[in-house]
Structure 1
Amino acid sequence: MESLLQLAIIWASVFIANIFAEKTRLTPVLFFLFMGALLVNTGILPQKTDEFIRVFAELGIIVIMFALGFEENTSDFLKSIKRSWGIALFGALAPFFTAYLIAGYFWENQNIAIMCGLAMTATAVSLTMVSLKSEGLHRSQAAKGIMTSAILDDVASLVFVAILVPIATGATMVSLPGIGLIVLKALLFFMVIAAVGMWILPERPNGMLSLIPGFGRHGVRHILSIGKGENTTLTVLTVAVLAGLLSHLFGFHAAVGAYMAGLILKEEYFQIVATPNINHYENTKKILDNVAFSWIGPVFFVVLGTHIVLEWDILVAVIPQTLVLAFALLVAQIASAGLAARYTAGFDYAQSVMVGIGMLGRAELAFVVMDIAYVQFGILNDEAFYTLMGTALILNIAVPVGIVLWKPYFSRSEEKQAREG
């Protein structure tokens, strides 16, 4: 019953957060994070997350990312990769070296500097995309650029983790075969997802699969048609979880696989002959949005906020380091990603700044790296750990606030392009 009590407390905090968000006109994500930090630091929620709540929160981020991918068009995503390579590259290098140099200056320890740089590299794409959705901007070209760049950053960050963590812990030296294995796994994962989308899901599977008796005549539309479309939500959620598990098997966060699963499910698959008057795609999308953004998804952000456990004596001592690092990363991230968006991706000024703001968040991978460096191996000292925690909090708050503040300029730019186009 303890787990259910914690879930009830979290849902009550989500309700309160939504009220504050409505009153202040800020995105609910900001208040979800705040409520998590408040609950854990007042002792209402334990510092060690209950296993049931942890899994529930993990399901939340899987459903969130699947719902976001479900709205996207596969061809648009592939085109966005060609456009967003510069944002991903420079948007990752700038924060890494900024954090590395500042941490090296403060603590004069190369291993601490490496881990600080690594923790501040990957973008919290889920935080940004939910913030954009709450402002009605998640279908914009800038949002697609952020999403694609952040996924590419996650892949690159996993390579960095594989290379730099063993170096910082002294466990091994750089190994070309080890690097090659990580890159191969990344390529293989995306090839598997692409193969599923191209050859297995269509109404009539393509390639060698079309030669298999029975299977070659039935694609995903036939599965969705079972029960006259009554099981569409169950089917797609199963696909989302399986894709998340596949992503985890390849060493990535489950959310990446869930997003890719949503991406390869096309609207035409939901055109069921037996019920031509029912829009099963829109009905499924409505249910997914409700699950993702109203009652399961928010649990992830509240639990994320519970990672911010404050010890006030250390916290006060590292205020200068936290402010310096957060400000430097804010400037470096917006400048690097924004300039890359402007000059390598062809976005206009307002869109480029929005891309830079959208790349500020730090969440899943940042906390994984902190856990490895502070809890498992003791590389980070207390001051460095709390500096990173405070910096991540500031950057996460900056995302929804920055999006809200920049939205008027961004919207005017979008309207101008729509008139001209």
Structure 2
Amino acid sequence: MTGDILIVGGGIAGLGAARELAPDHDVTVLERDGIASGATGHASGLVSVVADYAERREAARYSIEFFREFDGTGQFSFHERPFVQLRTTPELPGLREEAADFRDDGFAVTAHDGTSLADRYPEMFDMSVHTGAVVFEDAGWVDPYTYAATVADEAVSEGAEIRTNTEVTELVVDGGAVHGVRTDDGEIRADQVVVAAGWRTPDLAGVDLPVRPFRYQTANLETTAEIEDYPIAWDQESRLYWRPEHNGDLHVGGGAYYVSEPGSIRSSTVEGFKRLVAGTIPDRVPALTDARLATDDTCPSGDAATPDHLPIIDSPTNGPVGLVVATGLHGFGIMAGPAVGRAIRAHVAEEDAPFPLEPYRADRFDPNPSWEFPYIAPTAAETGP
């Protein structure tokens, strides 16, 4: 078979790229398992511009606008909710400066002390350990699998082919240019190859990229409280986030940790994470004192981080001509999905993107980068008390 573009990886990055490229390219997606079977299917589904990454703001704006327009496509729904960050630092004046900076960029963001937050959300949050809160209005959540499946359907409707249970083993490279891939079913030829396979991307692409696997953990809590209209929230002290689920449960996530053997299967969370959730949620949200663990989960295949925790989306100079890589989404894959797909198209089609691509270059890192980051623990044992 000869194809124009092969995309390795059936997560939201690869599927989003297929949707963007299929209208005017011959596109085939190759996924070793099923669509959204890796990090995408285990994602939180949060959508928001986040304070930690100023470089993401334009891409986040693009994604938020995409989700609003995509709402109602097939079975997909974008549940718009404010995102409340319960903060321990900085002090309230610093939070107000932070909110003003976002407003200057056109985002609806406000800072609150405990009194003004209680005026908006009466008796919802216990603010005794926090200096204040920052509320992002341009936010919401999606069901990750439904989103991925809808994007896949859109790509197929535009002519893309999606092959599941097809494992790519290496690129076919000749004369410094990529000519396709080798799979467990044989060789597939193509003019260009996009590798969007999470932490496996460097090995499959045959290029040296600073990517490290990590695993994150989630839990669903049953509660008798009516939480359908609750905002999304994040607690800086515990670094846990939570949001309502379709079935009335509370979805809680966090407890990320680096893994040395990402291929090892782990489908349950560690005990420290469970203790962290049990001790944090009733304390921060007093109405949920009856919350009980219903299910817990962890991404068995792991996700991918970079040293600065921004993704790599590039045609790397140390790779063959015709190769594009997308990796290191760092747990923000759903939020970034629309922008990542658009960025991949920009590289493949050699056209401009509606946001800067410079922050995502593969050659931006120091030779010996630091991997210390407060949101990812060195080991699983350090993700909870």
Instruction: Please give the range of the TM-score, normalised by the shorter of the 2 chains.
Output: under 0.3
Higher Rg of the two aligned structures:
1
Q: Quick check: which one's strand share is greater?
A: 2
TM-score for the superposition, normalised by structure 1: 0.25
Q: Quick check: which one's helix share is greater?
A: 1
Higher RCO (CA < 8 A, seq sep 6+): 1
TM-score for the superposition, normalised by structure 2: 0.27
